[in-house]
């Protein structure tokens, strides 16, 4: 069962205290847990749209695609690439910032739980994603919230993971403890290259993100995880397309060409970068 501790009121930043299934701050702002156990700490004032983040349909596509296991080597690569400082800890406090429907966090908690006491939190701005995540892993704290204003006490985590998400580095640094680690999981140069060649008249050259570094963090280790996978039918191709930005960016003709494919052999190329928060003793 999740704890939902160390959380802050999204309206006034004061600590939230749990009373059964409600979190309340000293100023009387109250937030009820949903039936499936997640908490919504994204007030209307902090929303830039009525239904922010991934839509219900996108969440369903991602869930259906990830459930087929095509991307499971990413979880293995994350565990293998973990810095020794984290591997050697008995306790791990982990935040998945932009967790989607929680596929990676669930697997990480299961695998890391063999050698560590894991206290895990998944946060996403999409209520659809968090509602889906919270049905599947009751031991994880699931929060609807924004990376832009994490409703979480400072110094709470040893490790923040942001996978294919929308990082807000000041906030990640704030919620990390003094020796905390940030893992960025992003697409590498050849990721889904075969699909991109079908979608676009010309594939854009790859441009590394944060090539000049990230303020407040030191890059300690980077690696790439590459593997091949096969999509056997139009449904799985459609699910993959719907969970990538290409569904919005690619021209109509490219999307039509991709949807007409009967099967597809693809390259996954994932970049894993581990950063340590600066100012460690
Ligand atoms: C490409 S998906 C990745 C989801 C998950 N990390 C995965 O790899 O399966 C990006 C996610 O970021 C979420 N998101 C977008 N803006 C966000 C924000 N400001 N704060 C937290 N999550 C956000 C979306 O709702 C979506 O679930």
| In the chain, where the domains are located | 17-277
What is the token pair recorded at 239?
Answer: 């699910």
| Interval 221-246 mean pLDDT | 95
Q: Are 174 and 154 in contact, with CB atoms under 8 Å apart?
A: yes
What is the token pair recorded at 203?
Answer: 């594939």
Above 90 in pLDDT, residue 279? no
Residue of minimum CA distance from atom 4 in ligand 1? 100
CA distance 69 to 65: 8
To test ligand 1's pocket by mutation, which of 75, 124, 131, 148 has the most ligand atoms within 8 angstroms of CB? 124
Kindly indicate the confidence band of residue 117, based on its pLDDT and cuts at 50, 70 and 90: very high
pLDDT of residue 51: 82
Choose the CATH number for 17-277 among 3.40.50.2000, 2.40.50.430, 3.40.50.300, 3.40.50.150: 3.40.50.150
* 164 CB near ligand 1 (under 6 Å): yes
Kindly indicate the confidence band of residue 220, based on its pLDDT and cuts at 50, 70 and 90: very high
Above 90 in pLDDT, residue 10? yes
* 143 CB near ligand 1 (under 6 Å): no
What is the token pair recorded at 236?
Answer: 């799985």
| Interval 201-225 mean pLDDT | 96
To test ligand 1's pocket by mutation, which of 40, 55, 64, 98 has the most ligand atoms within 8 angstroms of CB? 98
Question: Which residues sit opposite 228 in a β-bridge?
Answer: 267
Residue of minimum CA distance from atom 25 in ligand 1? 53
**CA–centroid distance, residue 281 to ligand 1 (Å):** 32
How confident is the model over 192-209, as pLDDT tens digits? 999 999 999 999 999 999
Residue 129 CA: which ligand 1 atom is closest? 27
CA distance 156 to 178: 10
> What is the value of pTM for the model shown?
0.96
* 98 CB near ligand 1 (under 6 Å): yes
Residue 103 CA: which ligand 1 atom is closest? 9
Phi, psi of 65 (to 5 degrees): -70, -50
* 122 CB near ligand 1 (under 6 Å): no
Kindly indicate the confidence band of residue 43, based on its pLDDT and cuts at 50, 70 and 90: confident
Kindly indicate the confidence band of residue 122, based on its pLDDT and cuts at 50, 70 and 90: very high
* 162 CB near ligand 1 (under 6 Å): no
Q: Which residue has the tokens 């942001």?
A: 162
To test ligand 1's pocket by mutation, which of 38, 125, 149, 241 has the most ligand atoms within 8 angstroms of CB? 125
Of the chain, the percentage scoring pLDDT greater than 90 comes to 91
| CB neighbourhood size of 212 (10 A) | 6
* 130 CB near ligand 1 (under 6 Å): no
């Amino acid at each position: 069962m999740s704890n939902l501790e160390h959380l802050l009121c999204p309206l006034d930043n004061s600590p939230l205290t749990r009373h059964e299934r409600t979190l309340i701050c000293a100023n009387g702002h109250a937030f009820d847990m949903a039936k499936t156990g997640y908490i919504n700490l994204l007030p209307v004032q902090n929303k830039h749209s009525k239904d922010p983040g991934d839509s219900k349909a996108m969440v369903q596509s991602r869930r259906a695609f990830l459930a087929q296991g095509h991307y499971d080597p990413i979880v293995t690569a994350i565990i293998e690439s973990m810095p020794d400082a984290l591997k050697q800890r008995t306790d791990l406090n982990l935040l998945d910032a932009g967790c989607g429907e929680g596929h990676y966090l669930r697997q990480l908690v299961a695998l890391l739980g063999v050698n560590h006491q894991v206290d895990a939190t998944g946060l996403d701005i999409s209520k659809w994603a968090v509602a889906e995540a919270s049905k599947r892993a009751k031991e994880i704290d699931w929060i609807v919230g924004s990376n832009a204003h994490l409703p979480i006490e400072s110094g709470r985590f040893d490790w923040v993971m942001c996978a294919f998400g929308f990082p807000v580095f000041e906030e990640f640094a704030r919620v990390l403890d003094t020796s905390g680690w940030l893992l960025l999981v992003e697409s590498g140069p050849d990721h889904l290259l075969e699909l991109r060649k079908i979608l676009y008249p010309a594939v854009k050259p790859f441009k590394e993100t944060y090539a000049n570094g990230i303020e407040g963090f030191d890059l300690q280790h980077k690696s790439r995880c590459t593997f091949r996978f096969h999509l056997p039918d139009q449904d799985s191709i459609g699910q993959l397309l719907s969970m990538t930005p290409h569904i919005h960016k690619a021209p109509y003709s490219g999307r039509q060409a991709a949807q007409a494919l009967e099967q597809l052999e693809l390259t996954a190329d994932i970049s894993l970068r581990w950063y340590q928060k600066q100012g460690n003793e």
